[in-house]
Amino acid sequence: MRAKASVPWWSSDLTLYIDADACPVKDEAIKVAERHRTEIKLVCDGGLRRPQSQWAELVIVPEGADAADNWIAERIGPGDICITGDIPLADRCLKAGAKAIDHRGTEFDAHSIGSKLAMRDLMTDLRSAGTMEGGGGKPFGPGTGRTFSTGSNACSRISNEDDKPMELKSENRSFGGRQQVWTHQSKETGTEMAFGLYLPPAAEDGPVPVVLYLSGLTCTHANVTDKGGFQRVCAELGLAFLAPDTSPRGLDLPGEHDSYDFGSGAGFYVDATQEPWSKHYRMESYVTGELLKVAAEAAPCLDLEDIAITGHSMGGHGALTLGLKRPDLFKAISAFAPISSPIHCPWGQKALGGYLGDDQSAWRKYDACALIEDGARCESGILVDQGLSDQFLSEQLKPELLEEACRKAGQPLTLHRQDGYDHSYFFIATFMEDHLRWLSERL
């Protein structure tokens, strides 16, 4: 019999198995699994109530001495983790390529397993011969759960043992919330990546929706964090605000730093297919997958079923294209002075040609106008603000192309042309509140 809640898409790839019949750290293990977005299976022969966690599945097996052990051993595989005090089960898990830890958070390995199995057999023989009474190890006390959950750091320590840990670089109070900067080692880019994360006061009480902001050419997370002016409104509306970098950093690939509009600071939110960019410049996959999972690990209060996306210039292009391609992920889209059609402007032609090659048919999935022509839609509509004193308006941004594509396709678009405003963060900060309120209404 199984009782299982739906596991969200952003869960980690591993599964945590608990030999639950005599496990004193079930509650602590569930908290660890929730923190790391890990599916957990509690296996027993009855007598347990299903935990109130979307990550937990209660598996009840038929009664029998080894029924729970056999169920786990038959299903566990490489990358998974088992929490058990049963040494033979731990041995079977290791042989299946999985990890095993005991109730105090100590990891089993081949050497310790061999020693413990030998000691177990010796103790069994001594008891059978009547040469000793009692037995068992050190009893579990009230501190066992604390030792497990804090001392071992369970899932994160074992499942990420080869990764540089995520690190909180800074945190500042702002309008009752917390403005943070995090770094982590990215598997998508193969580099260390940084992101800004604002958590509103409401994050202390439960899940909060997320606004994902993509920055423009040459920027990092710091531009919008320091100059975007979003914190007050996010605090009021109960919105988290997530701002990643614009490209991998620290690679020094040939030509990577030669110009402001290609390479470092100019990832264009694509997954590159051309060498030498294809291994590291995977910003689409990073932004729509790994970033969100890592941010949710840093802040479990993030509601990844309730996300809007916005951005500026190159980041506006990213918001439009990723939002249109992933309506399952993003409920609302807005943009500040976006590159409306990279296929038809010098910035876009240089970037898409360099990252994707000369076949312009491959460019269409990274062009908002082409995506709309090909059937992509955002049912909640799209909001765009564009300054009419923007120095890049006619050559690079071309909002009239987006306007015409939306008109022909019947895609709802609200395009505000703002007299006297340029391409700077003065423009963005002026209209940031309008965008946040518009997005919030759709979350």
- Please name the amino acid found at residue 148: F
Supply 91's token pair.
């041995």
Q: Indicate if 312 belongs to the active site.
A: no
Question: Three-class SS string for 351-406?
Answer: HHHHHHCCCHHHHHHHCHHHHHHCCCCCCCCEEEEEECCCCCHHHHHCHHHHHHHH
**Which residue in this structure is represented by tokens 């599964």?**
15
Cα 369 versus chain centre, distance: 28
CB atoms closer than 10 angstroms to residue 247: 28
Separation between Cα atoms, residue 27 and residue 33, nearest integer Å = 10
Separation between Cα atoms, residue 100 and residue 223, nearest integer Å = 44
Separation between Cα atoms, residue 23 and residue 273, nearest integer Å = 48
User: Which one of the listed residues 152, 215, 313, 341 is annotated catalytic?
Assistant: 313
Q: Indicate if 390 belongs to the active site.
A: yes
Give kind and range of the element (H or E) at residue 2.
strand 2-4
Give which of 262, 427, 258 is closest to 338, Cα–Cα: 427
Separation between Cα atoms, residue 39 and residue 18, nearest integer Å = 11
Separation between Cα atoms, residue 313 and residue 393, nearest integer Å = 10
Separation between Cα atoms, residue 261 and residue 247, nearest integer Å = 11
Residue 226: C-alpha distances to residues 174, 296, 434 (Å): 12, 22, 18
Q: Where are the alpha helices (DSSP H) in 218-308?
A: 221-227, 231-237, 283-285, 291-298
User: Which one of the listed residues 317, 423, 435, 440 is annotated catalytic?
Assistant: 423
Q: Indicate if 69 belongs to the active site.
A: no
User: Which one of the listed residues 80, 390, 435, 440 is annotated catalytic?
Assistant: 390
Residue 184: C-alpha distances to residues 168, 187, 196, 308 (Å): 9, 10, 12, 23
Known catalytic residues are 313, 390, 423
